[in-house]
Structure 1
């Protein structure tokens, strides 16, 4: 069990991606986990970042971390469950930086309940944050992404789009919807030179995974079985490297893709 859930520590920073320097990005849900790593990595590559979340203290910590290496970031608090939040978040980004080139739709909620316990409120809250918010954020960002000339939208989905996990019915359905939306957006926006892709992380050492592991009533053997095809849990930094790649011109011929970032977990299923 301990070996299966260990985290790979041998992660290098790599060279800066020069074509990202001076770009502007919104990274939703970036006060922890994959979103935080993405915000920091983009900033290391010269991107000016809107750090988004609900926890102001953690948001300030991310901004401070970015400032320490000379990066530029501002924290914006918005509750993406509210209908007006996506447009307000984009407005605040424009008021700070005057432009927008990259949108990383990372914020998500999880619902760890068996079918018989799921309530309408669970379904509605996950749909609002995990599906509607990315859609309307993209809509609000569209004029600015067009103006950018090479706008990028990156949706952080999940390997749960392909492999279901126990008591995650609602979350899994939302990630499937996000992937389908990614393909549709890539088709609709390609003539505007806006690329839209999704990444599908596997098991990653984040607060969300920790929350799930605490709530599920499984033995060590059952959890071992779930992760049997993954050599270890990923770090958020390993996932964020793919986000940086997709944001850069190095990936300029990738559009409408759904990319597993799971250490081979899915291929073994």
Structure 2
């Protein structure tokens, strides 16, 4: 049942009996599981057994790590920079993602949630800091072929297959976004040419987010 590999399942009473059996049955299909029970000792055993038969590891550590990097860090850095930005009438450009809005990837739930938070933070910060003369914007790129994405995959062949597959989904030219495309957007938003632009999430994706796929 391949369909279960993309789903997230909450199983209550998962420490024993039907609950434990149900959890392990879903685990065999690679399902992401959230297991709940008052019996912590046996619940831990069920968790281990589920991982052994194929369940993905969707842990709260993953959530914390992603939010610390994508949301907490920009928030704290902004707070620290405000006094200096106010003096210079500087601006902030956050790096968000196409995954924050119309396009979402079921296999990247936590990442998509974090980038949605970045978008809302950008807009609210823009309102709050406008009175200080500080602009806040974000750039939302589509998939890019960077060094880091190779670490997600098993081989160079897998990487090339992913690159070609994503390129076919981009309406404008049917090609992937380049790093320079994103840099150009950042430079524009940071420049005086964008002096009346704030609270904007600028999609650099060749209209990819408009396709809904």
Bin the TM-score by the shorter chain.
0.5 to 0.7
SS at match of 2:107: coil
> Which fold has the larger relative contact order, with Cα–Cα distance below 8 Å and residues 6 or more apart in sequence?
1
Cα deviations across residues 94-143 of structure 1 (Å, max 9, x unaligned)?
xxxxxxxxxxxxxxxxxxx9743211111111111110000000000010
SS at match of 2:110: helix
SS at match of 1:181: helix
Distance 1:132 1:114 in 2: 29
Distance 1:114 1:211 in 2: 22
Aligned residues: 154
TM-score normalised to the size of structure 1? Answer: 0.52
Distance 1:200 1:137 in 2: 19
Distance 1:114 1:151 in 2: 46
- 1:219/1:156 Cα in 2 relative to 1: closer, same or farther (>3 Å)? closer
Task: Tell me which protein shows more helix as a share of its residues.
Answer: 2
Distance 1:221 1:170 in 2: 24
| 5+ long unaligned stretches in structure 1 | 1-112
Q: 1:239 aligns with which of 182, 189, 205?
A: 182
SS at match of 1:132: helix
Cα deviations across residues 184-221 of structure 1 (Å, max 9, x unaligned)?
00000001110000110001111233334549xx8998
Radius of gyration: which is bigger? 2
Q: How big is the alpha-carbon RMSD for the aligned residues of Structure 1 and Structure 2?
A: 2.5
| 5+ long unaligned stretches in structure 2 | 1-29, 34-56
CA contact (8 A) 1:203 1:209 kept: no
